[in-house]
Structure 1
Amino acid sequence: MSYRAVLLLVLTSLALAQQPVRNVTDPGVITTRQAISPAGVQSVFEGRVYGAAFAGSTNEIWVLAAREAVLLDWRRNAVRQRATQDGLPGLQGVMFDAASGAPLMTGTRKGSPAAVSRLATVRGGAPVILADGIGQYNAGAPHAGLKPNRAGQRLAAVPLIYNNRVALFDLEAGRSAGEAPAGIAPFAVAVSEASDVAYVTNWGGRVPLAGEPTAPTGLQPNADRVVIDSRGVAASGTVTRIDLVEKRATGQINVGLQPTGLAWDQPRHRLYVANSNGDSVSVIDTRRDAVVATFALQPFGTPVSGIAPTAVAVSPDGATLYVTCGGINAIAVLDAQRGTQRGLIPTAWYPNSVSLSPDGTHLAVTTLLGVGSGFQNEPARRFVHAYRGSVAVIALPDEAQLLQYTAAVAENNRMPMQPAQTARRRAKPAPKAIPVEHGDPSLIEHVVYIIKENRTYDQVFGDLTEGNGEPSFVMFGEDVAPNHRKLAREFVLLDNFYATGGNSGDGHQWVTQANETAYPLWPGYQGRSYPFDGTDPIAYSQSGFIWDGVARVGRSVRVYGEFVGRMADPPSSARMGLLREWEKGADFSSRWTVRSDIPPLNSMLAAYFPSYTNAIPDVARAQILLKDIARWTQEGKMPNFVIVQLPCDHTYGTAPNLSTPKAMVADNDLAMGQLVEALSKSPFWKKMAIFVVEDDAQNGVDHVDGHRTVALAISPYTRRGTVDSTFYAQQSMVKTIELILGAPPMTLFDRIATDMRASFTDTPDATPYSHVKPKQDLFEANPPLNALRGQAKRDAQASAKMRWEVPDAAPSDQLNRILWRAVMGADRPFPGVRRAVFAPLAIDLEDDERE
C-alpha cells in the first residue's frame, strides 16, 4: 500500500488553524428549557464534538470534532496539531494509546456501495490510516491493550455498529487481526491491558430467543430483529465478552437498556457500564462475568426518565465514578462501591464522553451540542444544524465546590434535589382548559395533533407584523399558505416556538415521546434505518409514547399515519394523477393499507390512511379523515386523541415534472385548512383543541434560531387574536396535551417544559373556522429538464437524484438552497448560514449534510 493510500488526515499549520473559542457572543437556544453553566475551562468548536482523551499529560488533550482531530493545549486554548478529516468521526471515537504515545481514532468515509469504517492514528506528526474498510457505516468507541497477548498481538478493537462485529488490529505488526462477533449494534469496547479479553456494549442487546416478541431494526429484508416489550420498545441491552486470542464471543451479560460507554477497573475486576436508555450504571464482576450491582441514576428529588448516562470514568483508586449524563447536562459523581451520589458537575449541552487525566486531578468532558446552535458571521441568519459542540477540562472539585456545582445542576434542570412534599389531598378542582396538575379535569375532551415536516417560522410567518419575524425570509406567504396565516391571526400566533428535533429521525421522537435516546441523536442507526417512521425499536425511549400514557388513563386514541412503517409507495410520478383524482372527488378511504411494528399503535391505527410519502397529496389524506369526521358526527362519538401526519410541506425540490415547492406547501396548507374547518363545524368542537407542529425545522433559515418553527393552537378556548411569545418547544405541546387528557409526564423534558396555558382561556368562543383556498395552483409542476439552463438545470438534476421516499435523505443544505432559488429567485443571495457536519442517513462526501 502506498503512503498516499494510507493518509486519512491532513495536518495544517497552526497559523492556518481555526481556533476553538472560549466564549460565544451568540448565546444560542437550548430548546429543552434547561440552562447551561458549564464548569471548568471551555473550548467551543464549530460542529459537534464526539470525544476527547488526555494526551499522556494533564496539559494536552486530543479532541475529535466534526471535521478534525486537534491536539489542544487546553490551558492556553492553543491548537498544537490539527488533523483534518475527509469523512465523519466515530462516535466517542478517540482514545489515547499510552503504549505508542499517539491517539487512536475511528471514523467513516464514503465508500461503494456503502460508507466504510476505519481506524487511524497520528505518528511522529504524520497522520495514518491503520485499517480502512473494516466495516460499513458508523464505528464506535475504540480501545487498545497495553501489552501483547500470548499470540504476540497488542490489539486495538473497534465496534462496528452496523455489522454487529468488533474489528481487531494488531498495533505491533501494523495489520488487521480479524474480527469477533458481538451483539446487536455494538457501540463501545474495553480491552484488557494484556490484549486477551474485551468487553463490548450492545445497544440492541442479544439475539432474540424463539417465541419472544420482536421487531425489525429497519426495512431491509435481513434487518436484525430485537426483543421488544409490550409497548414496542427495545427490551434488551447486553455486554459481550470476547476472547481476543480465539477471536470469539465467550459470554453475554444482560445489563440496562442501550448500554453506551464503559470503564474497566481491572485491578478490582469491576466493569462499569453506562445504560443510556436505562438511566443506570451496571457493575460487572469480570471474574464471574455477572452483574453484581445496578446503580440507578436518579439525581433529583423526583424520579424522572431521560437522565441518559453516556460515558463513565473511574478514579485511580477505584473509589469514585464520573458518569456523563446527556439528559441533564451534568457529570454524576458516584461512590463506586455503593452507587450513592456524591454530587453533580454542570456541563454544556449533552455531554457524551469523559476522560480522566493521568494524574487523576482533572476531567475532560465533551458535549455533542455544546452551547446550542448559533452563528459564525451572520447573527441574523440561523440554521438548525449550526452546532457548536465543546470540550471542557474540569479540576476535580472539593466537597464544598461539589455542593455548589450540584445546586447549579438542579437549578439548570428546574428540578429540586429534595423529594416533593406530599400535599394534603385537595378537593377536586373545577375544570380548566389547561389543568394545573396532571389528572385534574379539563374543559377539553378531544385533542387533534397534526404533525408536519420541516418549515421554520420565518419561512411562513416572517412577514406577519404582529410577531417577531423577518419578512425577507418568507418563502411561503399569503398566496401559498393562507390557512396557516389565517389560523395564526384568528387564534394565536406563536412566535417563540421551537422544534427540539434537528431532523425527522430526531423530531418524530420528540413529538411522540418528549425525549430522544443516544441511538437517533448521535446517530447510531446508519445503514439500519431512519427512525422517523416507527421501524426501529432501538430508537425509542424507555418511557414509551404519548399514546401509551393517554390510553392508560382510559382515553381513546386514533392514529393517522404517524410512526407507521413505510408502505409500498406509489412512485413520485403518481402524485399528479392522484391530485386529478382528488379534484374529481375520488374516494381514497380504501386505497391503501398500512401497519405498525409497535403493537399498541397497530391497534390504534387508521390502517387505510397512508404513511409518509410525498407521492400522495395531503388533500387526499384529508379526504380520508374528512370522511371519518362525518362518520363520528353521525355516530355522536369521536376519539379523545387523534394524531394526524400531513408531510407534503417537505417538497420534492425542483425535480423535473414533479410538483413545485409552492404547490406542495399549498397542498399541505389546504388539507390542514379543510380539516380544521370540518372539525370546527362538528358537534365536538366545543370541547376540542387542535395542535399543529412541524417535526423539525431543518429545511430553512430563521433570524432568531434555526429550531424556531411553525406551530398552531386552535380551539374555542384559545385566546383569539393574540400573540403568545412565551418560550415553547415541542415538549411544551406534548405536556399541554397530557394535561388536557390526564396523562402523566413521560420524561424530564415534558415535566419541566412550559405548558401552553398562556395561549388559552377558560371562556370559550366556538366560532367555527372557514378555510381559504390558496391562490397557488396545486397542479403546478417543475419544468422538464430540457427546458432548463444553467443553475436551474443543475438544481433540477440534483433534485432528481435525491431520495424522496424518506424525509431528510435529501442533503438539507443543498435542498434549502434549491428551494430558495426556486421560490425567491436565483439572483437573490441565499442567507449566509454557518455549516456544520451532519449526516442523518449516510455518508456522501459530495452531497453530505454540511450545514
Structure 2
Amino acid sequence: MKRTALIAILSACALASAAVAASSVTTLPTGWKIRGNDGPVATVGTLPTGLVLSRDGSLLIELEAGHRKPALRVFDAATLRELRSLPLNGAYGAPLRDADGDGVWVAVPGTFQEQIAHVDVATATVDRAVSLPLPFYPVALAHARGGRLAVAGDVANRVAIVDPAAQRMIGGYDVGHHPAAVLSSPDGTRLYVAERGTDAVDVVGAVRAHIVVGRHPDALAADATHLYVADSDDDDVAVVDLATNRVVQHARIPFARAGAFGASPNALALDGDRLYVSCGAANAIAVFRTGPHGLVPLGAIPTGWYPTAIAVDRAHGALYVADGKGESGHANPRFSPLVRGPDVDFIADNLAGSIRRLAIPDDAALQHGLADVRDLAQHDDVPSSPVVRANGPIKHVIYVIKENRTYDQILGDVAGADGDASLVMFGEKITPNQHAIVKRFGVFDRFFEDAHVSADGHNWATAAFANDYLEKMWPQNYASRRPFYDFEDGAEAAVPHGGYLWDDAARAGVSLRNYGEFVSGGPSGPTPVSTSSEVLGKTTDRNYATFDMSVEDVDRFTEWKREFDAYEARRALPQLEIVRFPRDHTSGTRAGAVTPQGMVADNDLAVGKLVDAISHSPDWSSTAIFVLEDDAQNGPDHVDEQRSTFYLASPYAAGGVQHAAYTQASVLRTIEILLGLPPMSAYDAGAPALSAAFTATPNLAPFDALPAQIDVRAKNGAAAYRAADSARFDLAAADRVDDATMNDVLWHAVRGVRATPPPYGAFR
C-alpha cells in the first residue's frame, strides 16, 4: 500500500480540539505503526505534556507545550468534548491539582518572564501567579510540606520553594543538571528530584542524598515504600527503597527491544497496585504490578504517536493517554508561508497532539496488548544479500548530510517517480548533479525523515534516535520560548543510550574521518573547530568549515578532496567518512549574500564533485555513498511533510525507481551492516535495510560531475524580496530562522516576487 493511503486526512480545523473517529492501523513516516482507539479521541494543540483529572473525575485538564501557542484545555472526561481553554505565554509539564480543590498550578516558562500560575478550572482563568528568577525555566511542580510548592527549574538546576498564599518564592535547593521532575516524600520531609542531564535522583530537605538510578531520569512516582523512576534512556523503571534510598530493582520495559534502546519511558501513573509507564518512542504504555517484591510486568497498551502523559480514573474504569504527536503524519502540499497565524502548515505546527480515552484493561487484555505493541513496532529482517553484508564487496562508506529539503522541492520533476512538479523550487537547472545521480543510480520516492527539524534531525541522522529531552525541548526552542539550542555536539541531556555513529564505529574499531558534523567554530570564524566528543576530537578535520553559509560547499569539497587524495595515495581511505554539506539551507535573500538558487546550486555541485572524485578513484569498486537531508522541514510535499531526498551512489546501485519505503534509520542500518556495526537504537535495529537497492553486478563506469548551470555566486540585491528580513536572520547555526519565514523568502526568490506559493488549505 502506498504511504499516501496511510496518511490520515484531517479537517481544516484539525488542530482545534475535536473528537475524531477511531481508525485502523496507520503507518507513521518513521515506518512504525499505530492502531486507532475504540473510544473517544480528541485532537488538541501541539505537544500535550500533562493530564490531570478533577477530584470527581468529571473533568480532564490538559496542558500543551509545543510549537503553537501553549494552552490549558478542560474536557468533559466522559466524551472528551472540550469545554473551555486558556491560552498561555508558556507551558511545560503536567498541571498540579490543588491539595483541596480542583484548581491547578501550571509551569509557565519563557524567555523574558518565568512563573507558575494558578488556573481556576471552572472559568479557565489565571487568578494568581508567582514570578521566578531568570533564568529558571520551570518544568515540574509538586506539593511540599506546609502547603508550599516545589518547582523544578531546568535551566537553573535548582528547585524553588514557593509559598502560594504569599505568592512569592521563599527558598530553594541547588540540584543536578536539568531537573525534570520533583516529588515529595509521603511524610513531606524530603523532595526527590530527577536529574534529566545525569543519571541520578537528588534528595533534598531534611535528608540530603544522591541516588544513582539510570540514564536521564525524567519522571517520578511513589507509594508508601518505594520511589519509581523512569530512566528515559535506559528503557527501564528504577525502584528505590524509600527507607534506605537504595535502588532495589531495574524493571525493564516489557516490550523494549533486546540489545537496542529506544522506548523512552517518560511519564508514570500509580493506581492501586498498578504502575502505568508512558513510553514515547515505542508508542505504548507499559503496565506493571507493584508489590513488596518489586515490579512485575503485566503487559502493554498501544497508543497514538509518542505518548507523553497518563491519567487514571479507577472509579469510572477509564484511562486517559496524551499522545504528543497525535494520530498520523501529514502531507503539506498546500504549505503557504504567506499565511501568518496559527495555521501556516509548518511541520512543527502540524504535529497536533491527541488524547485517547479507553477502558482500563484487565490482565488478559494487557497480555494481548503486549503482543500488539510488539507487532506494531518496526522489525524488518535483513534479507540475505551478496552486497549488503559484512565483509562484502563494499568496504568504504561515505555518508553525506545536507540541510532541510523535501522531495518535491528538488525531485518533484523526475519522470516516472511520485513527484509534484508544481512544488519544485530547485529543479534540474539548479540541481543538475542530483538529477544526474538519480538517473544513473536510482531515485527513491518513498524516503522519509524520522526527524521533524534540524535539532532532532542531526540526532536521527547520526544516532537513529532522538531522546525524550530532545522531543520535548526542541519545540520550546523553535517557538522562541527557550533560548538554548543544546541538541548537538554532545549536549548532555540529549545524548541517547547508544551514542552516535562515530561512537559505534570507535567501539568496533572501524576507521573514521569526520568533516563538519557535531562540531562548532571553524576556520572561517573567530574560534577553532571544536567538539565535545572525544571520538570526534580525534577524527575531525579541523580545517573543514562548520555551519557557515558564507563558505561555499565547493570549498568544503576542496578540503575534503585534499585529504581524500592523500588517503588514496597511501591506499588508506577510512572505512567511514561523515561529510556535512549544509549550504542548501541558504541565507534567504539577505542583501549581499549569495542567492538561494546559487547556494543550492553550489551544494549540488559539491555533491556531484564528491561522487565524481570517488568514482574516478581506485576505491570506487568498494564504496557506497549515501546522501540525505537532516530533515525535510523547509518546504511542501504532496505525500508527507517528512518525505525528503535520498541518494545512493555506488557501482552496486540497482538504479531505476525505488518505491520501497525507507527512513534515516534505514540508511544507518545499511551502513551498520556494511561495516559490521551493531544497531544504536530500536529504530535502526528494526528498520529495513536498503538491500533491494543494490545489485550483485557492479557498474564501474565513473560519474562525471556536471557544471553548474546558473551563477553560484550571484548575490541578492538590496531590493530582493524581504532582503531586510533576511538581513536579520540568525544564520550562525541551523534552524535559528523561523521556517515559515525562510520558506516564504525562498519561494519568492526562486519563483519571483509576484509568484503565489501553493494556496493554503486543509490538511491532507
Match among 347, 358, 366 for residue 402 of structure 1 = 366
Counterpart in 2 of 1:10? none
- 1:101 and 2:35 are equivalent in the alignment: no
| Structure 1 position 831 matched with structure 2 position 758 | yes
Q: Separation in 2 of the partners of 1:521 and 1:374?
A: 18
Cα displacement (A) at 1:139? 2.6
Matched, 1:80 2:83: yes
Find 2:149's aligned residue among 143, 156, 161: 156
Distance change >3 Å, CA 344–CA 563, structure 1 → 2: same
1:632 aligned to 567, 570, 577, which one? 567
- Give the structure 1 partner of residue 225 of structure 2: 269
Give the secondary structure class of the aligned counterpart of 2:668.
helix
CA contact (8 A) 2:260 2:679 kept: no
Aligned pair count reads: 729
Gaps of 5+ in 1: 1-14, 206-236, 421-428, 572-591, 837-851
- Give the alignment of 1:149-188 within 5 angstroms: 149=145, 153-188=146-181
Distance 1:163 1:568 in 2: 33
Q: Which moved more, 1:303-312 or 1:709-718?
A: 303-312
1:256 is the counterpart of 2:220:
no
- Measure the CA separation in 2 of the matches of 1:455 and 1:376: 13
Across the aligned residues of Structure 1 and Structure 2, the Cα RMSD in angstroms comes to 2.8
TM-superposed CA distance for 1:240, in Å, is 1.6
Among 723, 735, 741, the alignment partner of 1:814 is 741
Structure 1 residues 375, 101: closer, same or farther in 2, change over 3 A?
farther
Say which of 702, 725, 729 aligns to 1:802: 729
Q: In structure 2, which of residues 488, 513, 527 is the aligned counterpart of residue 558 of structure 1?
A: 513
Please state if 1:359 is matched with 2:359: no
SS of 1:141's partner is strand
**CA shift at 1:755, angstroms?**
0.9
Structure 1 residues 172 and 193, CA, compared in 2 at 3 Å: closer, same or farther?
farther
Alpha-carbon spacing, 1:730–1:117, altered in 2? closer, same or farther (3 Å) = farther
2:40 aligned residue: 41
Residue aligning to 1:22: 20
Q: Is the 8 A contact 2:557 2:606 kept in 1?
A: yes
2:687 matches 1:733: no
CA distance in 1, matches of 2:743, 2:151: 36
For the 8 Å contact 2:25–2:34, the answer to whether it is kept is no
Alpha-carbon distance change, 52 to 123 in structure 1, aligned in 2, over 3 angstroms: closer
Q: Closer, same or farther in 2 for the Cα pair 1:61/1:753, shift >3 Å?
A: same
CA contact (8 A) 1:383 1:705 kept: no
Q: Is the 8 A contact 1:449 1:644 kept in 2?
A: yes
Match of 1:297 among 244, 253, 268: 253
Secondary structure in 1 aligned to 2:520?
coil
Secondary structure, aligned partner of 1:88? coil
**CA displacement at 1:75 relative to structure 2:** 2.6
The alignment partner of 1:657 has SS state of coil
Contact 1:328 1:413 in 2 (8 A): yes
Q: 1:473 to 1:377 in 2, by over 3 A?
A: closer
Range 562-571 or range 696-705, more displaced: 562-571
**8 Å Cα contact 2:104-2:119 kept in structure 1:** yes
SS in 1 for 2:91: strand
1:723 aligns with 2:657: yes
Aligned pairs for 1:229-628 within 5 A: 237-243=199-205, 250-265=208-223, 268-299=224-255, 302-316=258-272, 319-337=273-291, 338-357=294-313, 359=315, 361-374=317-330, 383-385=346-348, 386-414=350-378, 432-435=386-389, 440-523=390-473, 529-531=484-486, 533-567=488-522, 569-570=524-525, 593-628=528-563
The answer as to 2:663 corresponding to 1:660 is no
Q: Is the 8 Å Cα contact of residues 535 and 564 (structure 1) preserved in structure 2?
A: no
* Distance (Å, rounded) in 2 between the aligned partners of 1:203 and 1:321: 21
Structure 1 pair 368–654 and aligned structure 2 pair: CA distance change class (3 A)? same
Unaligned runs of 5+ in 2: 1-12, 337-343
Work out whether residues 378 and 832 of structure 1, in 8 Å CA contact, stay in contact via their aligned partners in 2.
yes
SS in 1 for 2:604: helix
Instruction: State the distance in 1 between where 2:696 and 2:85 align.
Output: 60
1:738–1:626 distance in 2 versus 1, CA, 3 Å:
same
Using the TM superposition, give the Cα deviation of residue 610 of structure 1 relative to its aligned residue in structure 2, in angstroms. 2.0
* Deviations 1:427-473 (CA, angstroms, capped at 9, x unpaired): xx9972112xxxx4321111100001101101100111221111111
Question: Aligned equivalents of 2:528 and 2:703: distance in 1?
Answer: 31
Classify 1:155/1:829 alpha carbon distance in 2 versus 1 (closer, same or farther; 3 Å). Answer: farther
The CA deviation string for residues 358-393 of structure 1, in whole angstroms up to 9 with x for no partner, is 638332221211223326995999653210211122
Q: Is the 8 A contact 1:533 1:562 kept in 2?
A: no
* Aligned equivalents of 1:45, 1:95: Cα separation in 2: 20
SS in 2 for 1:327: helix
Contact 1:37-1:408 at 8 Å conserved across structures = no
Residue type at the aligned position of 2:517: E
Distance apart, 1:504 and its partner CA: 1.4
The 8 Å contact of residues 318 and 359 in structure 2, kept in 1 or not, is answered as yes
Change in CA separation of 1:729 and 1:16 when aligned onto 2, cut-off 3 Å: closer
Deviation at 1:291, TM superposition (A): 2.1
Does the CA-based 8 Å contact 1:431-1:441 persist in structure 2?
no
Between the two proteins, what is the percent identity of the paired residues?
30
Deviation readout 1:123-145 (Å, 9 max, x if unpaired) = 65132351234443643122224
Deviation per residue, 1:633-668 (Å, 9 max, x gap): 222221111110100111111111111111111111
Structure 1 residue 801 displacement after superposition: 1.4
2:681 corresponds to which residue?
747
Output the CA distance in 1 between the equivalents of 2:81 and 2:623: 58
Structure 1 residue 734: deviation in Å? 0.3
Shift of the 831–108 alpha-carbon distance from structure 1 to 2, 3 Å rule, reads farther
- Residue of structure 2 in register with 1:690 after alignment: 625
Whole-angstrom CA distance in 2 between matches of 1:156 and 1:46: 28
Normalised TM-score (structure 2): 0.90
- 1:314 maps to a residue whose letter is L
SS in 2 for 1:142: strand
Residue aligning to 1:89: 91
Quick one: distance in 2 between partners of 1:74 and 1:694?
42
Whole-angstrom distance in 2 between the partners of 1:134 and 1:415: 47
Q: CA deviation at 1:835?
A: 11
Other structure's SS at 1:522 match? helix
Alignment match, 2:5: none
Q: Separation in 2 of the partners of 1:260 and 1:390?
A: 21
1:174 & 1:631 partners in 2: Cα distance? Answer: 67
TM-score (norm 1): 0.81
Inter-CA distance 378–143: structure 2 relative to 1 (3 Å threshold):
farther
Following superposition, the deviation at residue 16 of structure 1 comes to 14
Cα contact 1:565–1:597 (8 A) shared by 2? no
1:835 and 1:264, CA in 2 relative to 1: closer, same or farther beyond 3 A? farther
- 1:569 to 1:817, Cα distance in 2 relative to 1, 3 A: same
